[in-house]
Chains A and B, each alone.
Chain A
């Protein structure tokens, strides 16, 4: 068959001596056993248009590639480990890459999409990683886990003035209810955005494990060697699928929104004060950039919809059943997600999320907001305390508006 599947994709550039030469690597597969890395070098326009012409999971035909023996050690430092002793080189002048639509694709090829590139039994459960802890820092290994929540991509500027992006996904399995995996490249971020929280299972080969000192937890990172298989068709994945179904039916999982609200935000560092109107303006200005905005609002809670609240409370008296459950698992059953409206003299922010620990602390607000295409404006209240009227009035009066 001339068709090959893209299973990995990485795009970066090297400022070569004198000129800037760009490179784009991907990995193709045409059978359960065989896959091979492809590398293309060239001018920026060529590489960019090539990289934009297909995505992971697409089917391509490659004509006239140069076949080269690979130096395994050097090659596999930054690329997926392949069973092949060769790699393919693409050049602008000699090689052609054609993409074909999924309708023309051989079904045998399509089934490869759900077949991990590693032995399906060779993975770490999230609990194994947490249990091993810092001794796994820097290790590259395989994961099988379900997607709990997918964060929005966050954009930033690197120290050398290039645009960077980052997206955090929370994973879970039978052993851990929340484990972060980080994506830094466009392709894996796009892929992650297609995952359905609490439905999708992934097998990720060769992710790097790190210990996050700031959060004091283990994390996984998608690197250029990583190959992610979405919804793998393996016995091990099927067990996980049934687990997802059971926990969803038991209502034992927190909502994805809440899960992401716990991302690392240093409340002390939040100092900008907004009125509701200013926050809405900000959200409109930054539309499409999906950049989270952190700030403080002095306002009133004007709606507290207890009837609509998806609250699942555990009894404060521990029953015989609960006493056997470890405390961290018990916490799963107590969760709050309260929707509130926050109002000041300039208007109202509707549907702000107040999740459990914040709901408990209550009143006076630090707000994170991000424009969200699906719901208009999404606001998570990270902290809600009774405002000091003196502080609030000073904050309003201290502006350059004319209040005299």
Chain B
């Protein structure tokens, strides 16, 4: 059946998931807007704790970049957390729960050298995009 062009527009224009590369500070900052558009973060940071086990298959650890630290959790539901080495840079994909100050990871692995080299660029790109987005949101 046919769909009117305005329906197509709303379907296309609807706020959809964004994946942002972010330093810990910007994870906290952009999470304020997670109620407006779904956000998933890519964070690169140094593992700064042992990996400890919690309830419901949780694995807890701390990620650090500069002075900021981010408590992380990974639930071993359908796969195990790979062996992580303290002091190495890891790449975590996940969402941030501001109330509990915890970063829920869906994927954790060591970051490649190339990823580390380009990470700041992607953070900058995401920051510019989100700044512009938030500005248009506030204008509406």
Q: Which residues of A contact B3 (CB under 8 A)?
A: 373-374, 376
Cross-chain contact A344 with B18 (CB below 8 angstroms): yes
Q: Which residues of B contact A349 (CB under 8 A)?
A: 16
- B94 to chain A minimum Cβ distance, whole angstroms, is 13
Q: Which residues of B contact A343 (CB under 8 A)?
A: 16-19, 40
Q: Do A389 and B9 form a contact, CB below 8 Å, given A343-B19, A345-B18, A347-B15?
A: no
The A interface is mostly helix, strand or loop, or mixed, namely mixed
Interface range for B: 20 to 34
Q: Mark B15-45, 1 if CB is under 8 A from A, else 0.
A: 1111111000000000000000100100000
Q: Mark A338-354, 1 if CB is under 8 A from B, else 0.
A: 00010111111110000
Is residue B5 within 8 Å, beta carbon to beta carbon, of the partner chain? yes
Q: Mark B109-140, 1 if CB is under 8 A from A, else 0.
A: 00000110110011011101110010000000
Would you list which residues of chain A between 334 and 389 have a CB under 8 Å from chain B?
Answer: 341, 343-350, 371, 373-374, 376-377, 388-389
Is residue B13 within 8 Å, beta carbon to beta carbon, of the partner chain? yes
Cross-chain contact A393 with B121 (CB below 8 angstroms): yes
Q: Which residues of B contact A376 (CB under 8 A)?
A: 3, 8, 11-12
- A373 to chain B minimum Cβ distance, whole angstroms, is 6
Q: Which residues of A contact B21 (CB under 8 A)?
A: 345
Cross-chain contact A280 with B13 (CB below 8 angstroms): yes
Cross-chain contact A287 with B19 (CB below 8 angstroms): no
Bound Cα distance from A402 to B128, whole angstroms: 8
Is residue A103 within 8 Å, beta carbon to beta carbon, of the partner chain? no
- B136 to chain A minimum Cβ distance, whole angstroms, is 11
Is residue B68 within 8 Å, beta carbon to beta carbon, of the partner chain? no
Is residue B2 within 8 Å, beta carbon to beta carbon, of the partner chain? yes
Q: Which residues of A contact B124 (CB under 8 A)?
A: 397, 403
Bound Cα distance from A390 to B118, whole angstroms: 6
Q: Which residues of B contact A374 (CB under 8 A)?
A: 1-3
Cross-chain contact A390 with B128 (CB below 8 angstroms): no
Bound Cα distance from A347 to B40, whole angstroms: 11
Bound Cα distance from A371 to B124, whole angstroms: 31
- A253 to chain B minimum Cβ distance, whole angstroms, is 24
- A33 to chain B minimum Cβ distance, whole angstroms, is 41
The listed residue (A275, A350, A389) touching B118 by CB distance below 8 A is: A389
Q: Mark A192-206, 1 if CB is under 8 A from B, else 0.
A: 000000000000000
Is residue A211 within 8 Å, beta carbon to beta carbon, of the partner chain? no
Interface, chain A (partner B; CB < 8 A): 275-276, 280, 283-284, 287-288, 299-300, 302, 341, 343-350, 371, 373-374, 376-377, 388-390, 392-393, 396-397, 401-403
